[in-house]
Every structure is written in C-alpha cells, then in structure tokens.
Amino acid sequence: MKNYSRQREAILEVLRSTDTHPTASWIYERVREKIPNISLGTVYRNLTVLSENGDILTINVGDGQERYDGNTAAHLHLRCTGCGEIYDAFLKSDPFRDLISEEGFIPEAAVYVVRGICKNCK
C-alpha cells in the first residue's frame, strides 16, 4: 500500500473484513470504533486514494451512493433491484478479455454490475 497511514490501514482492514459492499458512512462508523477522532472527510479522502492505488474497488450500483469493495479479484456484482442487496459472483473466465486484448488496452481494474432480481425476491 502506497503512502501508509494508520487511518488508511484501518479503512482497508474494515473493507477487507466484509463482503457487504458498504458506503463511506458505514465504513466511517466502523473505523470510528478504532480511531474515535477520525472525520468522515478523512475516510472519503482515503477511500479515493485506496481506489486510485488499486487497493479497493469503487462501485456505482445505481442507488445514488458509491459502494466500496475490498476484494479486487475479477468478479461481478449482482444488485437486486427488489431488496437492494449486492452479491459477488466469481467468473471462471473473463468474457471481455478477447475484446480488450484486440483493442490493445491494458486494464488496471474492471467493475461489473448486473442489476436484476435475486432468488429471495423473485
């Protein structure tokens, strides 16, 4: 992790301990349990740095709030339009790999979001 800080490490630890794809406010509340004087602005700034460094993913699932994922391995995000839950789905292979390589593009990160109805809501 570039430019280590205690706050950044705590944020990353919180993100890597959950698979719920939390908002910045949720992360802020959990980090405050360890660092009571941290500000929401500090959390936002560190989330931006972590995302730019490729340590986390920033996800827009269409609910008006950015979500964050500590798992940077290639996977889909399935968002249920019924209950709002976000699920991870891991691919056996990347369906876009051939297209990307044909274009000569070297991806650094990819965030896929598929919207639909989960098995609990159908």
| 76-116 has the same fold as 6-69 | no
Query: Which of 5, 82, 19 minimizes the C-alpha distance to 50?
Result: 5
The residue ranges of every structural domain in the chain are 6-69, 76-116
pLDDT (tens, 9 = 90+) of the chain, 122 residues, equals 456 689 999 999 999 999 999 999 999 999 999 999 999 999 999 999 999 999 999 999 888 899 999 998 888 999 999 999 999 998 887 777 777 777 787 777 778 899 999 999 98
Q: Does domain 76-116 have CATH number 3.90.25?
A: no
Express each pLDDT in 56-80 by its tens digit: 999 998 888 999 999 988 889 999 9
- Give residues with Cβ within 8 angstroms of 71, minimum separation 6: 16, 19, 57, 88
Q: Does domain 6-69 have CATH number 1.10.10.10?
A: yes
2-5 long-range Cβ contacts below 8 angstroms, 24+ apart: 2/49, 2/53, 3/49, 5/46
60 bridge partner residues: 66
Which two three-digit tokens encode residue 52? Answer: 């730019």
